[in-house]
Every structure is written in structure tokens, then in C-alpha cells.
Structure 1
């Protein structure tokens, strides 16, 4: 039994006329009659009553007509879904992210993507950088929006830069640095720092080692945190100060103050990571393209603000 046999029967069962059904299907009437008869022979049940006056459905034919109608509807829907999936317009997209560095670009990108392809369900996973890399490698994540991986994290991972940004320092209003407009590397090196947990964020330590290398200093990590939210709490409690990105302000808000870090050319950055040998679906590629556009817009807006500040 093939789907075309069912479509032939559906046309005849709805039209109750072989001539009309044949015209609708654009097949010869004798061929249509033979195909429907073959279907009845295969099932072993008479579906139609044929007479010189026309065609009617048997009780079995009426039941089969309803079943065929639903079956063909589901078949057509399945074909449409598969085609939509191939176009990147259907399915699920698992995206990992690090909250603090992605807060500027991920929400608008997600909103734009869902508007463009509403039938793709984006599932976000808030994870540490090490968990993000693991998720990409084991294919539980298709994409990760994160800071650049470092060391062992880079194996099997492809990274595409989206945004770069100058660093700042997060402090409390009660800290002596609060009266300053900027903080030097030497000043930062003398302070206890609140950082991320080495086990979960190894790239963080590669990064801060590069920052302090020009002054031959080692960062004084007083507290290691497992997330941006706990880091904010520790700084707010006076346990130390912390390196931060401008987007960190959107997460911590007015709970902390932020001062420019001088004396370093190192920039923070965020981008798209994927497994080198992994498959990114058409939906994933669409999401990447939207992230690129949002990031380019954020970079252009930042450059415009800086230009206006220099003029003023």
C-alpha cells in the first residue's frame, strides 16, 4: 500500500464519482479505478459500492475514509515540518551562554530570531565556561555564546569573535577607589580580587595572567565564585574588588560602582563557540547571523558614543 493509493481513494470517496476524481487527480479514469480496486484487494474489504447510478461508500469505506483523511493530513504535516527544518524554520536550538558578557547582545538577538522564525524553540542553558565547552563537545549544545576559550578548552572548539570591550573594575561605594575616575594595574595588583572559580572558568585565569604580565605581578585572588551573581554579592560584601566588562553593569546595576582600568591593552571579548566537527543546523546558522548583526550594531553604537564624548 502506497500513499498514492490512499490519495486516490480519498479523492473518489469525497467526490463519489470516478470521473470527477480522475480529473481532480489528473489521471486516467481506468487507471484510477484499477488503483482503487487494487487497494480494496490488498485490504480484503469492499470500500465502495459500484452501480450504474454511481459510487457510494460502504460502512467500512466510510470508516476508512476518515482514517485516510487523518493519515494523509499527518503525512503532509510531517513532510512540511521536515522541509521547514531543512530551511531552519522548525525544531529546537540548544544554546549555552555565560550571563554577564552576553547580556548586551543575547536578549535582542533572541527576540529578533523568535520573530523571524517563531517555530524554532530556542532552549537557553546558563552554564560555566567549562560546562559550555563540554556541552559543545558532547553535542548537547549546538552553540555557546561565551568569552574565548583558553588552554585545554580550545581543543575541538571553533570560536568566532563578536564583540570586544575595554575592562573596568567593580567596587563598592565604600571602597577608597570610589573617589577615583580610573584605576591602574599596579593599584589593582595590590588589592584582593574576587574572581571566578578556576575549575569552572580556567580561561579567566589565562586572561588575568595576561593582564598582569606587563607589570610582572600576580593577581591576589581572595575569593573564587561559581557565577556572576555570587561574584557580585562577594564584591558588594566588601570581600574584594573585581575585573568586569561594561555589560557587567547591566547585571549588577547600581549595587556596585565601576571605574576604568588603565595601563593595559587587553580587551574583554565575547563570541560564538561551536564544536569543530559538530553540525550546526540551518536554524543555528540563522541565529549566528542575527548575533553578528546585533553585535555589529552594538559596536557601531559604542563607536558613535565614544566619538561624541571626544567632541564634547
Structure 2
């Protein structure tokens, strides 16, 4: 049996999506090319791996066994590739970072920019995703480090964490919003407008339920679900600027817009929860030299962001 890594990756994608068109799109190849690759793989294995059905494809018993073994092979290959990169040193290293929407908007890009200045030949990929997906990226070893909310990994011994963002949330809206410019906004007034952002951790969901006076729609990250659910905070800001929606965010995420006057703070009479995000990686596994440099930049930028947050709080009377 002669099987190459590309065929393993193709089979993994097809097993994940159970659909040739979707798998081909993920792999950035044509559907006929994927079909030929799977047919060649099955011929090499000597058995059918996928049953073709009108509704899609399903793994055969041989396919189930093959996919399980292929997953281990690909993971070990990635580990070997990383080990070789580590031996070559930082200059030729690579790093894949998973991040949630808030750290992905400021902290992570700033750290990657600093890393690129000091090591311009490093390959770096930022995977901005729903924060609930980040732990799986690490367990699959498709990302080496992550910067995201801690809710899903708290107390999980498989992960090591380091708190980087511990800032209070604030409500913000566009400066032309009907509620802008008021001293304080009542909860009744606040609840008339849609909330835009990412799905929220349970502790934030409990607060929003209290603010709304009733449970929101069901959601996998807690009982409360925002009206406009986005993966990136950049999208949330554009939606706020073009509508009467409201968002929750730490001050540094909207510093430029607050100072420019395009966004403004909404003050409420109840204390808001804090963002608790930071570095996450697999426990007991040494980070590569590239990841260590990235982490050092995160820590440096964290100090700068804390100073900026304190300055913004003082300027807007929140200190």
C-alpha cells in the first residue's frame, strides 16, 4: 500500500464534511481532482473507504479504521515538522495561533507585528475563530498556541493558561445612536436595541439575562445569545457604526473610535462582568522558539494595553 500525506489530508477532509464539494472547497482544489485522489487512494488501499450516497458520503468500516490511523499519522507528521523547524531556530520557524474575536482584534495582531519585525522570515498564521472552537485547535495540534477566553479550559489539566486581559466590559454604540450622550441608560432603554458581538461565556450570559430581564435564545455557550452573532470584532464595529446596535467590549478594543468620536460609551447602573482572556497551550508541552518569542511580545503588549486602558478610563470618567 502506497499512500502519501496529500491523500491522507484529502480523506480526512472528506470524512469531516461527508460531501465532495465542501471538502474540495476546504482543500482549495476542484471536486474532480478530489474525486480522482480518493479513487486512487482506495485503489492503493485495496478497499472502498467511502460509500457514495445521494445525501453525501459515509465511511465504510475500512474507512473508519483508515481515518483513525491517518489522523495519528498526520499529527505525528506535524510534530516532526515542528521539531525540525525548532532545530533550525527562530529564523525559519513557523507558528499557528488561534484567537477569539477580542484578542484577535488588537493584542494578537500587535504581537505578531512585533514578532515579524524581529524575525521577518517566520511564517505565521492567525486563525481568528469563535472562542468555543479554540480548545479543539490545540488538541488537534493544528495550532500551537491560542489567545482566547478561558471559560472552556478552566480547570482542564490538558491546558496551561496565562491571564492577559482582565478588563471590565463597557457598552458602546455609534455617536449618532438615540441613546448617545445620556448620563446613564436604563435597562429598559438598553433592551430596545440589538446586541452585536460573539457568543458569550456563561458568566457574561448570566449578566445579560439579568440586564434583559429574561433569558435569551438558546446557545451552546450559555442560555443567552446576542442578536447579531459575529466571529470578528472588526465586523461588530462596522455593524455598530452603520446601525443602532450596541456592543460590549473592553476599552482598548475601541480606543481609536472613542478618541475619534465615532463611537461613544453607554453608562448603565449595574456593574458589568470582566473579560478573562489570555494565553492557552497544551500543558506539559514545550513551546517552540517562535512561540516563546510570540509569548514574550504578548506580555510586553499586555503592559502597554493596561496603561492605555487606565488612561482611557481616567479620560472618560471611569477610573
Q: Under a length normalisation based on structure 1, what TM-score does the superposition of the two structures give?
A: 0.57
Aligned to 1:245: 250
Question: Relative to structure 1, is the Cα distance of residues 255 and 265 closer, same or farther in structure 2, using a 3 angstrom cutoff?
Answer: closer
Aligned to 1:179: 181
Q: Please identify, of 274-283 and 210-219, the stretch whose mean Cα deviation from structure 2 is larger.
A: 210-219
CA distance in 2 between counterparts of 1:84 and 1:218 reads 52
- Secondary structure of 1:303 counterpart: helix
CA distance in 1 between counterparts of 2:141 and 2:265 reads 38
- Secondary structure of 2:251 counterpart: coil
- Secondary structure of 2:150 counterpart: coil
**For structure 2, which runs of at least 5 residues remain unmatched after alignment?**
1-82, 217-225
* Aligned-residue RMSD, C-alpha: 3.8
Matches within 5 A, 1:298-309: 298-303=305-310, 306=313
Matches within 5 A, 1:82-231: 85=87, 87-150=89-152, 156-183=158-185, 187-188=189-190, 190-196=191-197, 201=199, 204-212=200-208, 217-218=213-214, 220=216, 221-231=226-236
CA distance in 1 between counterparts of 2:314 and 2:243 reads 35
Q: CA deviation at 1:263?
A: 1.8
Q: Which has the larger radius of gyration?
A: 1
- Secondary structure of 2:113 counterpart: helix
Q: Under a length normalisation based on structure 2, what TM-score does the superposition of the two structures give?
A: 0.56
CA distance in 2 between counterparts of 1:193 and 1:88 reads 46
Aligned residues: 225
Aligned to 2:47: none
CA distance in 2 between counterparts of 1:229 and 1:306 reads 22
Q: CA deviation at 1:186?
A: 6.3
Which of these residues, 283, 294, 307, is aligned with residue 290 of structure 2? 283
Q: CA deviation at 1:285?
A: 1.6
Which one has the bigger helix percentage?
1
Question: Relative to structure 1, is the Cα distance of residues 154 and 128 closer, same or farther in structure 2, using a 3 angstrom cutoff?
Answer: farther
CA distance in 2 between counterparts of 1:242 and 1:276 reads 34
CA contact under 8 A between 1:97 and 1:124: conserved in structure 2? yes
CA contact under 8 A between 2:102 and 2:232: conserved in structure 1? no
CA contact under 8 A between 1:192 and 1:222: conserved in structure 2? no
Aligned to 1:12: none
CA contact under 8 A between 1:158 and 1:275: conserved in structure 2? yes
CA distance in 2 between counterparts of 1:196 and 1:151 reads 21
Q: CA deviation at 1:142?
A: 0.5
CA distance in 2 between counterparts of 1:263 and 1:114 reads 42
- Secondary structure of 1:162 counterpart: strand
- Secondary structure of 1:243 counterpart: strand
Q: CA deviation at 1:296?
A: 1.4
**For structure 1, which runs of at least 5 residues remain unmatched after alignment?**
1-80
Q: CA deviation at 1:284?
A: 0.9
Q: Please identify, of 139-148 and 254-263, the stretch whose mean Cα deviation from structure 2 is larger.
A: 254-263
